[in-house]
Structure 1
Amino acid sequence: MSVKELEARIEVLSADIEVQRETLKKLESSKSRLQGQLNAIRDPVARLPLEISAEIFLQCLPTDPKPGAEEIPTVLLNICNAWTSIALSIPTLWNSIHLVFPCSKHLHKVVERWIQHAKPRPLSISLSGPFVDPKVAQVILRHSGQLNQLSIAAFPSYSDDSEESYDEFFHVMEKGTYPLLQTFSFDGHSGTDEYFFDWNPIHRFLCLTPYLVDCVLQGIDPSGYMYPVEQVVLPKLRRLVFTHDTSDDIFRFITAPELIILALPMFDVTRKQLLSFLECSSPPLSDLLLEHDQREKPRGDVDDPTRLEDCLALVPTLTRLEIWCPKPSIVEELVAILTSSNMLPNLFDLVIQWIPERGAWSESSLWDTVLSAFSARLGSPLRTVRIDFHSDWTLAMPPRIREAMQDLSSNGLDVSIVRVRRKR
């Protein structure tokens, strides 16, 4: 055959090959479609109504969904087309995400797609680690209008980069709006007492959250900071929790007129500052937790003549009072308050935890005073009193006091003296 004849023959064969390839593609496509139909018939999830399939997928969702090919809900996208369609049709499957740093350099793209799957649903985002990727922060900013819950656990890296990273994160977040944000928590030391974050960027962020309902702050250091003039007014706030190492320097800049639940470390927040807050906010508190300390001179006791009675007189709406680790002097103050008919008229539950000084509670006179205070509350709304002792300190109660406490229970006031072992 000549060269031209060979070339012509090759062209014909090439054309036939292309035809066969197109035929093969059509056959493979038909096979895949039929296989999908067969899988749908065999797959019990695909045969269920969408509402039931969606509920099954939601029940598989972990508490803190993380991005990852083997993590739910992402893994649901890799089973079959039917499961992919179901997973992408459930926005609530994607409206919560937990991000741990350090992370891959492409995480911001994953987060963007994840949030897009959530559509316009309110978002719950939690961050943990020594820093936040700036690209991830920008993604969160773009969806700030959907943010409903933001939780941060700033694990310290003991380097200058850690605090600067979160400063930058909040600097980015200052550019957003938060009409749906109701829950915010920030843990600035996550289990260590040696590292704290600055109050300044968090203060500026809180000024943008007028619809905040629940706020928890821990491990924030205001020292060396020029205090802001602007007061953080949180008109919708219902629950405010200051845990370990929260200074009254921070507490003084928060006003919450609708606050219902308040928890304070009284070794860092003074009673004077608590009084000032209650006078300024006039909140309708129902639950108050005051945590004291066993240190010799905790900050909350230094040069503070303010009485506990002065503070509690401002919250007649109180129905539950918890006092942790009080010294006998504080218990004596509380006893005087309970004895007064004008104080805490709506108190329903009283809890005293971790009584630290065994010797004081072995004295019958103190028990007599406590018994007298509880007896004075018969006929009032007070229904339950619980005193949690460490180890075997329940043995310090004189038998006659124990019998009298039982008599109170028969008259409608349930008094329980509980032996508690401290966790190690």
Structure 2
Amino acid sequence: MFVFTLCLFLWSWLSSIYGLEFRYHNSMEMEQYLKDINRMFPDITHLHGIGQSVEGRELWVLILGQHPREHRTGIPEFKYVGNMHGNEAVGRVLLLQLIDYLTSRYLSDPLVTRLLNSSRVHILPSMNPDGFESSARECMYTIGRYNKNGVDLNRNFPDLFEGNTEREREKEVRAVMDWLKTESFVLSANLHGGAVVASYPYDNSNGGSELQGGHSISPDDDVFVHLAKTYSYSHREMHNGNSCYDSQDFTQGITNGYYWYPLPGGMQDYNYVWAQCLELTLEISCCKFPPEAQLPGLWEANKPALLAYIQQVHLGVKGVVTDSYGKPVRNAVVEVAGRRNLCPFRTDRNGEYYRLLLPGNYTITVTYPGHKTLTQTVQVQYGPDAFSALTHNFFLQKNDYSSKATQLPQSCTTPNLGITESDSATLLPTVFTTLTLLLLQRLLL
């Protein structure tokens, strides 16, 4: 502990003098920086790759928290993803600066310390390193936007509204989809450029009941609006709604994604519909690839918003669902009255559930095969101030008669990743790892 504290002190002192340079680090430099941070702070960081780009660049994720190597019950998982479009480079810079800020201030800054002690933060600085490396330093052009195969990654995810769940996925998209299966993410944001606004789901619609007044409204619309306003009003300028001279005005600096423009195959809808993770798309700079002299100002404008948004992972209610033997159960359906999600929220492999909710009274129903349906009302307070959502556990009782298993709707089964024969070899380590985890899981049950 003494050595760890000494390292923190030395790093904080060096950061206050030098800090991470405000410039565009290439992929090799970024990788080296992440490895250096991980070596310097092994107790609060863990670095791992979630896959590779088309050109073979590693997609690095740095995890920060009090227990970075493993999930702990009651500690929510949060993530930031940057540089999905390779030429939208500001998010990549800001996420590296955020890593520097969090690591250098842990144990000395009360907010940073409470954030990392109460949540597990995953940061993927660049989802499209190939695109970044081929980008031109231009404000509005598209050079470098797409991956090496010329595909827009933010149009390549499965889309329930489009029914495109079986088409082929790009390597970077498959990596993120696989990543979402390994962690029960609660809250997320992906960082883009070209405007200054916080956009929330849905991004798409098929003209169903979700389409209301030009908006595609999700069951958690009130929460999404709150999350978007949290970022917008914590940002220095976003809430003004007219930061970019060539962009439309956004009231309060937020917009429903579909109302702005329909977007099929987007990542934020996929996170919400299939992964139970509420995600925003944050447009954080008028210029996609601004001059480096503007980077310090962009960091100062976004820094308080990036921190405030992480803290929102503590909204609502969380807990564990156990069966009649007191054992945590996986795949119990946890439904909040009045919020009929396209894919029902379910407990994860640890029996945990997380529901981001604004303060108020909510009726929650839990169903699990062979057990009596349990309905209870909870009173939710504002959790972010206390760095913890309301904890409410559910204890199920066994039925005296046999009960059919609760079936997922066909549309909610895990989408096909579109793996072709030619790239199956490159995915062998991932498949092997997954099978190993499943085997271990069975042995532990």
TM-score (norm 1): 0.25
| Greater gyration radius | 1
Structure with greater helix percent: 1
Relative contact order, CA 8 A, sep 6+: which one is greater?
2
TM-score (norm 2): 0.24
